[in-house]
Amino acid sequence: MPLRLEARPEPSRAMLWLSPVLAAVLAAAGGGLVFAALGYDPLVALRTLFLDPLSTLDGLTELGLKATPLLLCAIGIAVAVQAGLWNIGAEGQLTMGAIAGGGIALAFGGEGHWWILPAMLLAGAAGGAAWAAIPALLKTRFHAHEILTTLMLSYVAVQFLGWLVHGPWIDPEGFNFPQSRMFEADALLPVLVEGTRLHAGVLLALLAVPLAWALLARTVAGYRLRTIGLAPRAARYAGFSAARGTWLGLCLAGALAGLAGLCEAAGPVGQLQPLMSPGYGFAAIIVAFLGRLQPFGILLAALLMALIYLGGEQLQVSMQLPIAATGTIQGMLLFFLLASDVFIDRRLVRVARRHA
Amino acid sequence: MPDAFVLLALLVATLRAATPLLLAGFGELVAERSGVLNLGVEGMMLVGAAAGFIATAATGQPLLGLLVAALAGMLMALLFGLLTLTLGANQVACGLALTIFGIGLSALIGLPWQGTPIAGLASVIWPGLDAAGPVAQQLMLLDPVLWLALLLPALVGAFLYRSRAGLILRAVGESHEAAHALGYGVLRVRYAAVLFGGAMAGLGGAYLSLVYTPMWTENMVAGRGWIALALVVFSAWKPGWLALGALFFGFVTIAQFQAGAFGLEVSPHLLSMLPYLATVVVLVLISRDETRRKLNAPAALGKPFTAAG
């Protein structure tokens, strides 16, 4: 073995931010190999995936549209990870947010109340937070690890939505399709750019970036959260309540994911359907790590992930490439990121040959 | 005799539903006893299910399909091993990555085969299956993979507690420093355990796509990999409890299909929540006593090991 890994004297800050870039480039290269293996011209496919969506106004607004739920979910996941919590159930919290907010839209939409949209936003956030509060309770009260409980509750939430749109909330004039009525105009988020689908939810997501940054970097609560995550024992000596950190971290993550779900329901979807998201809640885990768990980094990462979703749809339309190809690229992105992250704390050195 | 037949059918159905959980669960149990937490079980099962199905559909040989599925699971596990064992990356994050990657990869390679009919394992081994009487048919549904799964508790138990290799594996899982100081190859043992876990997860996935519902659909493992992980925690890393847990979950899975037969008019969506809710309940019951869990968990679980101290 001519090469060996050894610990760096200090973690490399350059590598910390270089690593996501490297991972993105490697994942693109890996994607090219997958396209070639499937019998497509890799260069044309990569151009369609990464460049074509950015060349039109329509593409740019769709990018913002897809980045919105990713950004909201990923910020929540990142805050939770900073507090030492693995919330991998954002998909379920997103679903419950869509159900809670969508329920208000179905009950009171079309009556012209001024409060309908604010109430839907609040209910969306509350629905997600309530769903995340269950794992928080199970962790603080019974020590059940959140990684499995959040995920299991995701499956339950999706089945619950399936029951609603197949049963009590089904559109009576919908030819028995499993979906709710379309929301009335007053229960839809206003469109920002005429003729596109970009809605006001993107502003909420953008607002969440500086707010989350301020919470983590500028408040005592954020400082406590990070201490609990980085050094649980030091936090205990300092008297910071780990239980309170769990409640705050998980409920905040749930509220943001719930908001994301409501924005999908009251935005591009406009009703409740059996699946409210093509896996945004899981892709947001990749986004959170790619963005280094920092709100502003996550903004960039969410745009990249939105581009992969958008480009993937374009590939399906123009080259008949299966949408599943993008899922493979997402997975590779996280793998390459974790592999190159190894070199933040360590480096490769040449091993000198030993002489007898 | 109809009651006895209903009971037999219920038993066979429960065993069949428990088989993927037994396979994947015992693979993960061995990996975790060596100190490695691999959260990628769901991803390995999916890739095994897709690869095994493709090999079977292409050759008409379900036994070859099972072999390919085990190899595919091992390849996924190898990827995980390279990252977490050789490079020392975070095991939780890499396990999640393995699952996300496995969901995408299996959907991609399985796509052209969606809807392709195959001959299930039982009808290949038993050419007379369709002509046999109802009781004989039920017994014929007990295929070799199921028998392997039922033998696993005894086999893995004997390996862990009655063999030298099992003792070394447990030592590595309790304290890699001590095992290393005694001259055991910590990484070699862990690679072997992780690869075994991959092979078993791949087989468990293939049992779903080749035997349980002989077809391939995207994301067909539907959380069973995660349930298997929860069962390992539930079992307190003990083979007997893991087997009981898997059988219980097999029964819960079957109960939701049988509810209609007993005159219960409940939405299939609500019934489908049962296994996931049961997992949460079981986790809560088992985690309540934190000392018990901490005493039983392999002490080095999830901790990376580098020889150059």
pLDDT at A168: 94
Cβ–Cβ under 8 Å, residues B203 and B66: yes
Nearest chain B Cα distance for residue A112, angstroms: 34
Whether residue A306 is predicted with pLDDT greater than 90 in this model: the reply is yes
Q: For the residues A29-33, what does the mean pLDDT come to? A: 93
Query: Amino acid identity, residue B180?
Result: H
Share of chain A above pLDDT 70, in %: 98
pLDDT at B120: 74
Inter-chain residue contact A331 with B105, CB threshold 8 Å: yes
Q: Nearest Cα to A247, choosing from A115, A135, A120, A99?
A: A135
Query: Amino acid identity, residue B10?
Result: L
- Report the distance separating Cα B6 and Cα B1, nearest Å: 9
B25 located within any domain: yes
Lowest mean pLDDT among A122-136, A342-356, B6-20: A342-356
Instruction: List chain B residues with CB under 8 Å of A156.
Output: 273, 276-277
What are the two backbone dihedrals, phi and then psi, of residue B266, each rounded to the nearest 5 degrees?
-120, 145
C-alpha dihedral, B61 to B63 to B66 to B67, nearest 10°:
-100
Cβ–Cβ under 8 Å, residues B84 and A341: no
A contact residues 284-313, partner B, Cβ 8 Å cutoff: 285-286, 289
Three-class DSSP labels, chain B: CHHHHHHHHHHHHHHHHHHHHHHHHHHHHHHHHCCCCCCCHHHHHHHHHHHHHHHHHHHCCHHHHHHHHHHHHHHHHHHHHHHHHHCCCCHHHHHHHHHHHHHHHHHHHHHHHCCCCCCCHHHHHCCCHHHCCHHHHHHHCCCHHHHHHHHHHHHHHHHHHHCHHHHHHHHHHHCHHHHHHCCCCHHHHHHHHHHHHHHHHHHHHHHHHHHHCCCCCCCCCCCHHHHHHHHHHHCCCCHHHHHHHHHHHHHHHHHHHHHHHHCCCCCHHHHHCHHHHHHHHHHHHHHCCHHHHHHHCCCCCCCCCCCCC
Q: What residue of A is the nearest CA neighbor of B231?
A: A148
Lowest mean pLDDT among A76-80, A113-117, B23-27, B257-261: B257-261
B195 located within any domain: yes
Whether residue B140 is predicted with pLDDT greater than 80 in this model: the reply is no
Tokens, residue A205: 């997501």
Topology of A57-321 in CATH?
A: ABC transporter involved in vitamin B12 uptake, BtuC (1.10.3470)
Cβ–Cβ under 8 Å, residues A287 and A95: no
Lowest mean pLDDT among A228-242, B57-71, B279-293: B279-293
Nearest chain A Cα distance for residue B135, angstroms: 35
Inter-chain residue contact A322 with B108, CB threshold 8 Å: yes
Whether residue A340 is predicted with pLDDT greater than 80 in this model: the reply is yes
Sign of dihedral through CA atoms A137, A140, A141, A142? positive
Nearest chain B Cα distance for residue A329, angstroms: 8
Q: For the residues A205-231, what does the mean pLDDT come to? A: 94
- Report the distance separating Cα A324 and Cα B105, nearest Å: 7
Q: Is A70 on the interface with B (CB under 8 A)?
A: no
B308 located within any domain: no
Q: Who among B79, B104, B269 is closest to A327 (CB)?
A: B104
- Report the distance separating Cα A124 and Cα A262, nearest Å: 5
A contact residues 231-250, partner B, Cβ 8 Å cutoff: none
Residue found by looking up tokens 């269950």 in the block: A134
Q: What residue of A is the nearest CA neighbor of B283?
A: A144
Test mutation, B96, B229, B272, chain A, max A CBs within 10 A: B96
- Domain map of chain A by residue range? 1-38+322-356, 57-321
pLDDT at B273: 92
Q: Is B218 on the interface with A (CB under 8 A)?
A: yes
Whether residue B81 is predicted with pLDDT greater than 50 in this model: the reply is yes
Q: List, for residues B15-40, the tens digit of each pLDDT value.
A: 999 999 999 999 999 999 999 999 99
Instruction: List chain B residues with CB under 8 Å of A328.
Output: 101, 104-105, 108
pLDDT at A151: 93
pLDDT at B305: 83
Q: List, for residues B213-239, the tens digit of each pLDDT value.
A: 889 999 999 999 999 999 998 898 999
Q: Is B270 on the interface with A (CB under 8 A)?
A: yes
B84 located within any domain: yes
Inter-chain residue contact B90 with A338, CB threshold 8 Å: yes
Instruction: List chain B residues with CB under 8 Å of A332.
Output: 101
Rg, C-alpha atoms of chain B: 20
Nearest chain B Cα distance for residue A31, angstroms: 12
Supply the mean pLDDT for chain A.
Answer: 93
Tally A–B CB contacts below 8 A. 135
The stretches of chain A forming alpha helices (DSSP H) are 13-37, 42-50, 57-82, 90-108, 116-142, 146-166, 201-218, 220-230, 232-237, 242-264, 280-290, 295-319, 324-345
CATH number at residue B134: 1.10.3470
Q: Is A352 helix (H, G, I), strand (E, B) or coil?
A: coil
Q: Nearest Cα to A255, choosing from A208, A288, A216, A302?
A: A208
pLDDT at A87: 95
Share of chain B above pLDDT 90, in %: 62
Inter-chain residue contact A331 with B293, CB threshold 8 Å: no
Q: Is B107 on the interface with A (CB under 8 A)?
A: yes
Nearest chain B Cα distance for residue A162, angstroms: 6
Q: In which band, very low, low, confident or very high, does the pLDDT at B309 lie, cut at 50, 70 and 90?
A: very low
Nearest chain A Cα distance for residue B174, angstroms: 21
Task: Determine the structural domain holding residue B91 and report its residue range.
Answer: 2-296
- Report the distance separating Cα A2 and Cα A354, nearest Å: 11
Q: For the residues B155-165, what does the mean pLDDT come to? A: 96
pLDDT at A160: 97
Look up the ipTM and state it: 0.90
B contact residues 63-82, partner A, Cβ 8 Å cutoff: 79
Q: In which band, very low, low, confident or very high, does the pLDDT at A116 lie, cut at 50, 70 and 90?
A: very high
Q: For the residues B147-167, what does the mean pLDDT come to? A: 96
pLDDT at A321: 82
The CA-to-CA distance between both ends of chain A, in Å, stands at 17
Inter-chain residue contact A341 with B89, CB threshold 8 Å: yes
Q: In which band, very low, low, confident or very high, does the pLDDT at B142 lie, cut at 50, 70 and 90?
A: confident
Model pTM score: 0.92
- Report the distance separating Cα B189 and Cα A52, nearest Å: 48
- Report the distance separating Cα A134 and Cα A253, nearest Å: 13
Inter-chain residue contact A143 with B293, CB threshold 8 Å: yes
Q: In which band, very low, low, confident or very high, does the pLDDT at B171 lie, cut at 50, 70 and 90?
A: very high
B contact residues 30-49, partner A, Cβ 8 Å cutoff: 39
Q: Who among A4, A149, A338 is closest to B97 (CB)?
A: A338
Q: Nearest Cα to B34, choosing from B196, B152, B174?
A: B174
Nearest chain B Cα distance for residue A141, angstroms: 8
C-alpha dihedral, B8 to B11 to B14 to B19, nearest 10°:
-100
Burial of residue A284, with CB atoms counted within 10 A of its CB: 0-12 exposed, 13-18 middle, 19 or more buried = buried
B307 located within any domain: no
Instruction: List chain A residues with CB under 8 Å of B107.
Output: 322, 324, 327
Test mutation, B280, B285, B295, B305, chain A, max A CBs within 10 A: B280
Test mutation, A81, A156, A308, A340, chain B, max B CBs within 10 A: A156
Q: Is B277 on the interface with A (CB under 8 A)?
A: yes
What's the structural domain count of chain B?
A: 1
Q: In which band, very low, low, confident or very high, does the pLDDT at B277 lie, cut at 50, 70 and 90?
A: very high
Q: Nearest Cα to B68, choosing from B129, B109, B127, B17?
A: B109
B248 located within any domain: yes
